[in-house]
Structure 1
Amino acid sequence: MNITKEQVDALNAIVKVAVSKEDYAEKVETVLADYKKNASIPGFRKGAVPMSLIKKQYEKAIMADEVNKLLQQSLNDYLVQEKLDILGNPLPKETDDFSWDADILTFEFELGLAPEFTVDLSAKNKLVEYKIVADDALLNEQVERIQKQYGKLIPQTVVADGNEIKGTFANEEKGINNSTVITLDVFKDKKAAKALIGKTIGDVVTLKTKGLFDDDHKLMDYLKVAHDDAHGLDIEVTFTIESIDAIEKAELTADLFNKLFGEGVVTSLEELKAKIKEDAEAQFAQQADQKFLNDVTDFLIESTSFDLPSDFLKRWIQTVGETPLTPEQAEVEYANSEKGLRYQLIENKVILANDLQVKFEELKDFTASLIKKQMAQFGQLNPSDEEIDGIVARVLSNQDEIKRISDQVMSEKMLNLFKDKVKAKSKEVNYQDFIKAMYGELK
């Protein structure tokens, strides 16, 4: 067997594999002999079928099968040996004059090669790393939410200021039909609040969405419209009242604090706000980290320039699914996946350049941390090490779970690397301003 490579250009190559009869003849003869032993053909006893008849019926198919196995193995070995970094899989080239009767069988495969490029994490950029703080407005709002949540609901028949109103926002044309709970102070438009005062269960009130709330993003929460639809949405919606309750707020007592956080953990309003601030900012930090990771990803894709073997990849995409795609379908699929492919190449380059690895001990520690957090949510605050180790072992016995958790650990390593290497501006914001920044509305 002889394998050679022809470099078409920097991103494309053709590998030629020449297979002689000596490469596969012995294996074919062995398989034919097995066929002869077990063949059941009318007119012949089992095992007594002439080899000439066996060859006539099966030799070409067996030869094709054995040659294909040989090709696959030898081509894979060649790619590893030559350290060829390919995209997709080799594509066999069709030849018009190919014959299985030839002494030398020649096969050609197209290769799409990964591009050579460098990634500069220290390049100048306009990235911002946000630190989200829980401001006084948010803390006061959360304290009031707790008091309402643990307070008493007193059913009412007529809407009054301060009531909690359950109802459904609807607009058939826009497909809006969302059941929610509101209080009148959520409305920026005081006419909307006034329109609900004095209404009873079953009444339907028509409201205009433009300027209804102090922030259009609240339309996403209360009407369940998409972000792009929320901005400047100027339609009428109906609000059907389903229940009305007055709220008798819970008092901020030791009993309430103990119910929320455990015996003696929180003993005053100041400590309650401190606890809310701690928990909120821990959650906010995760959101800020995810935005930073996404922003760096987009920046690296935009700032790292390299070509791809796009024509090859489009042809390869036609062949990989269960159903072959047309050239037009492959064009669309390539356009949808190109950004992801570019980042995958960039990420691999960054991982290799910075020797980022996920060790099994790290997987165990990360999994144990996740399990402890989940158990804490269900009130199991002090599980034993043996209990945690047993659950970790069960989780990591599943290969899909290992892959999922490995990806999470590597994502965390990438985030820490970016925080260290990428020169981003640091900015402290409250949560509302972060939401605006996340949707590109805060400069």
Structure 2
Amino acid sequence: MNITRENIDELNAVVKVDIAKEDYAPKVEKILKDYRKNANIPGFRKGHVPMGMVKKQYGQAVLVDEVNKLLQDALNKYLTEEKLDVLGNPIPKEQEDFDWNKEEYSFEFELGLAPEFEVNLDLEKPVTKYNIVADEKMVNTQLESMQKQYGKLISKDEVDDEKDIVAGTFKNEEEGIEKESSVELEKINGKKNLNKFMGSKVGDTIKLKTKNLFKDDHQLIDLLGIDHDKAHDLDIEVEFTISEVNKRELADLDQELFDKLFGKDKVKSVTELKDKIKEDAAKQFEQQSDQQLMNDVTETLIDNTKFELPKEFLQKWIRTVGEKPLTEEEAVEEYEKSEKGLRYQLIEGKIINDNKLEVQFEDLKAFSHEKIKEQMAQFGQMNPSEKELDDIASRILSNQDEVKRLSEQLMNEKLLDFYKENMKFEEKEVTYDEFVKEIYQ
């Protein structure tokens, strides 16, 4: 067997694999002999079928199978030994005059080669790093939410406050709606709708239009018992018969509430409570800030790292790689959609290799422990033992899909830490509302 490579240019090459009879003949002969031993052909005893008949019936199929196996093994070994960084997979070149009746064969494969390039992290225009802080408005909103959660409902005879909570039954016979629900009047949209509730008492029935009834259409899903798609732009009339009117009395901002929220004597004043709310919010916002930073660094590196790709090869490869072959136009469209992602994959791979960023098993185990503790904390299990963590981690890490998912998450964190240490950023402190407005609007 002989393998040669012709470099067309820096990004494209053709590999030729020559296979001689001595490369495949012994294996083919052995398989055909095994077939002969076990073949059941009418008129012949088992093991006594003439070899000529076995070759006539099975010879070419075995030959094709063995040559293809040799070919794939040889090609994979060559790419590994030559340390060729290829994009996609080798594409076999068509041969119009190919003949399996010959004894020697030649196969050619097109290769798309990864480009050589350098990644510059010292950029002229630094990436913005957002530090999201909880403003006074957000802190007070969270404070009131806590007071509501631990407050109590006091029964009333009549609706007279825009913060009242009204229980009752929504009905619309035509749509098959009959649902007992509790409505927080603060979530009602517009004075016109709100005024329909004012002055109403237990036993009264109010007629309401569902369109723009709530500040968020999704409220209709639970209140009317309808599905998500139906809730959007639903425009029907419903009757709401009141069964209860309540006002919510907020819990006092006292030590009893502080202890319920954070444990005994962990917080001792409203000032400390507000500081704790800010601290917890900062941790939550850090995840969003980090995700945005990763997105912005990715876009910036793609824009500032210039290199060519074997475009025509990749479009040809895209045409053949899926379950269903694509047309040329479809392949071009698919390439254009995926080009940015491919560029970042190459940039990311170079950063990882050049800086020896690795995910070791011990790192993965420690990372899985942290993720398990976070999940257990959500269910009130704050101090799991090391044995519990080890047992759960062992089950998770025995699943290859989970190992792959966690490894990708951990490598993503390592990359983000690397960027934070090696790139210059423009720090910008914003409130959450400012962050949302700047990023999404």
Same fold flag (TM > 0.5): yes
Structure 2 unaligned runs (5+)?
171-180, 222-232
AA of the residue aligned to 2:69: K
Report the CA distance shift for 1:198/1:10 in structure 2 as closer, same or farther (over 3 A).
farther
Identity %: 52
Distance in 1 (CA, whole Å) between partners of 2:182 and 2:85 is 54
Q: CA deviation at 1:205?
A: 5.2
Q: Note the C-alpha offset of 1:289.
A: 0.6
Distance in 1 separating the partners of 2:139 and 2:254 = 17
Q: CA offsets, 1:169-221, max 9 Å, x none? A: xxxxxxxxxx996554897x777766765577643258879xx98xxxxx698
CA–CA distance in 1 between the matches of 2:328 and 2:74?
A: 30
Alignment partner of 1:56 is 2:60? no
- C-alpha deviation, 1:368, in angstroms: 0.8
Gaps of 5+ in 1: 169-178, 214-218, 225-234
Partner of 2:102: 102
Aligned to 2:173: none
The answer for the alignment partner of 2:27 in structure 1 is 27
Is 1:375 the counterpart of 2:376 in the alignment? yes
Asked whether the 8 Å contact 1:39–1:47 carries over to 2, the reply is yes
Cα 1:10/1:33, change in 2 over 3 Å: same
Aligned to 1:204: 208
Query: Residues 355 and 198 of structure 1: is their aligned pair in 2 closer, same or farther, counting only changes over 3 Å?
Result: farther
Q: Distance in 1 between matches of 2:19 and 2:166?
A: 79
Instruction: Name the CA shift for 1:165/1:41 in 2 (closer, same or farther; >3 Å).
Output: same
Aligned to 1:172: none
| Corresponding position: 1:88 with 2:92 | no
2:317 is aligned with 1:344: no
Matches of 2:218 and 2:339, distance apart in 1 = 33
Bigger drift between 243-252 and 43-52 goes to 243-252
How far does residue 316 in structure 1 lie from its aligned partner after superposition? 1.4
Q: Distance in 2 between matches of 1:58 and 1:139?
A: 79
> Residues 110 and 180 of structure 1: is their aligned pair in 2 closer, same or farther, counting only changes over 3 Å?
farther
Tell me the SS of whatever aligns to 1:387: helix
The match for 2:70 is: 70
Q: Distance in 2 between matches of 1:61 and 1:398?
A: 38
Paired residue total: 412
* Cα deviations by residue, 1:106-142 (Å, 9 ceiling, x for unpaired): 1011111111222111112252101111122211111
Equivalence for 2:315: 314
- 1:81 deviates by 1.0
Residues 285, 223 of structure 1: CA spacing in aligned structure 2 closer, same or farther, 3 A cutoff?
farther
3-state SS of the aligned residue for 1:102?
coil
Q: 1:158·1:201 contact (CA, 8 Å) conserved in 2?
A: no
- Corresponding residue of 1:389: 390
1:97 positional shift = 1.1
Residues 302 and 344 of structure 2 are in contact (CA less than 8 Å); yes or no, is this contact kept in structure 1?
A: yes
Tell me, in whole angstroms, the C-alpha distance in 2 between the residues paired with 1:412 and 1:121: 17
Pair 1:391–1:425, CA change in 2 (3 A): same
Distance 1:260 1:117, change over 3 A: same
Q: Structure 1 CA distance, aligned partners of 2:264 and 2:210?
A: 48
Tell me, in whole angstroms, the C-alpha distance in 1 between the residues paired with 2:368 and 2:382. Answer: 16
TM-score of the superposition, structure 2-length normalised? 0.85
Counterpart position of 2:177: none
Q: Is the 8 A contact 1:180 1:222 kept in 2?
A: no
The 1:281/1:88 distance shift into structure 2, 3 A limit, reads same
Q: Partners of 2:115 and 2:238 in 1: how far apart?
A: 59
